[in-house]
């Protein structure tokens, strides 16, 4: 058992999948690196910051990817995105049991501009194609860079998101919001506020993530197995799913639209002693808030 947060992408793959079962597509030795970074005279990485491939999860063939948050914040460049999209398409072609995405990303790699933006949109489309083929897609978020920007949207295209409270999920990151709207709107240096707003617990309460686990690789692995089992047979996105999601979002906006900060939302939800929420362990937290959270089926 080890901290998911502390592991790098390769260590996460090794611990979440069955021991030594993961076969990497385009491994570092293939040296498929970013052509854009080289042009800018910036350092490249031999895997362009993402590991993609196929392994076993409890003996079943599951395709997977892990983004390396340490390399440019896990940002998606042209090669990085193409590796993700290619792996997802191959999962459909080879009838994978499921796809597991270990995401950690600030979003598009701005050095690669339009190529990165297109890559992210291709990843989103590919995720939905995997689901349309009836294959469950499960996202794990627990790295220190969180999951932001285009990859935040891509994550929400999956069937299930599993987070730790250390994980973060949002569209615009804290610094972006502060830059655009001022420090009065959002103080990106207030870490408690940042985690209350984007962290795993708040995402779980709002229904943006479906499972909240403690920060360890075994817990993420077990949650992924549960999520895949629960989704088998109805992985495809239906019109009814979309309408239910839109209804949930409309209800959320109606009920919490005037709230100034997440603690106000927790109060409005009727959660007893909301001030204690940030200090609770994952298990105690999920037990206490189960009756109050949004998006529970």
Partner 1 sequence: METLNYRFEHGRRQLAAMPQLVGVVSSGNLEVLIEAAPLNGACEIEIRTAANGFGATWQAVMSDFHERWQLIDARICINDMGATPAVVSLRLDQAAETMTGGLP
Q: Contact residues for partner 1 (CB under 8 A)?
A: 8-10, 27-29, 31, 41-47, 49, 68, 70-71
Output the CA angle 165-221-227, nearest 5 degrees.
85
Q: Which is nearer to partner 1, 49 or 274 (CB)?
A: 49
Closest approach of Cβ 10 to partner 1, in Å? 7
Which of residues 144 and 238 has its CB atom nearest to partner 1 in the complex?
144
Tokens representing residue 236 in the block = 């495809």
- In the chain, what's the furthest Cα-to-Cα distance? 55
What's the DSSP call for residue 159? S
Q: What's the closest the beta carbon of residue 216 comes to partner 1, in angstroms?
A: 21
For residue 49, the SS3 value is coil
Whose Cβ is closer to partner 1: residue 67's or residue 198's?
Answer: 67
Query: Which stretches of the chain are DSSP H helices?
Result: 9-16, 35-39, 78-93, 113-132, 149-155, 174-181, 191-198, 200-206, 217-231, 239-256, 262-269, 282-289
Instruction: Report the residue number, 40 or 132, with the smaller CB distance to partner 1.
Output: 40
Question: Given the complex with partner 1, which of 35 and 43 has the nearer CB atom?
Answer: 43
Q: Which is nearer to partner 1, 24 or 165 (CB)?
A: 24
- Residue 69 Cβ, how far from partner 1 at the closest point, in Å? 8
Nearer to partner 1, 54 or 201 (CB): 54
Smallest separation (angstroms) from partner 1 to the CB of 46:
5
| β 160-164/211-213 pair status | parallel
> Cα-Cα-Cα-Cα dihedral of 86, 88, 93, 99, to 10°?
150
Minimum Å gap between C-beta 55 and partner 1 is: 16
DSSP H or E run through 46: none
Do residues 215 and 3 lie in contact, with contact meaning Cβ atoms separated by under 8 Å?
Answer: yes
| Tokens 């080890």, residue located | 2
Burial of 38 by CB count in 10 Å (0-12 exposed, 13-18 middle, 19+ buried)? exposed
**Structure-block tokens of residue 55:** 């392994």
Nearest distance in Å: CB 33, partner 1: 9
Shortest reach from residue 252's CB to partner 1, in Å:
36
* Nearest Cα to Cα of residue 231 among 130, 146, 147: 130
């Amino acid at each position: 058992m080890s901290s998911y947060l502390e592991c790098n992408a390769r260590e996460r793959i090794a611990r979440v999948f069955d021991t030594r079962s993961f076969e990497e597509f385009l491994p570092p030795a293939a040296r498929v690196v970013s052509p854009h970074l080289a042009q800018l005279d910036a350092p490249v990485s031999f895997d362009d910051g993402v590991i993609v491939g196929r392994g076993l999860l409890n003996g079943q063939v599951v395709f997977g990817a892990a983004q390396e948050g340490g390399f440019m914040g896990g940002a998606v460049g042209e090669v990085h995105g193409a590796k993700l999209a290619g792996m997802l398409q191959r999962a459909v072609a080879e009838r994978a049991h499921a796809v597991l995405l270990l995401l950690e990303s600030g979003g598009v790699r701005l050095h690669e501009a339009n190529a990165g933006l297109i890559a992210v949109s291709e990843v989103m489309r590919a995720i939905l194609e995997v689901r349309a083929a009836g294959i469950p897609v499960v996202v794990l978020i627990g790295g220190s860079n969180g999951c932001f920007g285009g990859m935040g949207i891509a994550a929400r295209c999956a069937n299930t998101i599993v987070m730790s409270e250390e994980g973060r999920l949002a569209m615009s990151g804290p610094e972006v919001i502060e830059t655009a709207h001022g420090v009065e709107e959002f103080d990106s240096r207030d870490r408690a506020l940042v985690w209350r707003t984007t962290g795993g617990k708040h995402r779980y309460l709002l229904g943006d993530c479906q499972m909240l686990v403690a920060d360890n690789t075994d817990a993420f692995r077990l949650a992924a197995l549960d999520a895949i089992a629960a989704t088998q047979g109805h992985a495809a996105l239906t019109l009814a799913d979309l309408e239910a999601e839109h209804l949930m979002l409309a209800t959320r906006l109606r009920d919490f639209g005037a709230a100034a900060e997440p603690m106000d939302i927790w109060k409005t939800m009727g959660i007893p002693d909301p001030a204690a929420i940030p200090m609770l362990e994952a298990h105690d937290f999920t037990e206490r808030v189960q009756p109050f959270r949004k998006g529970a089926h």
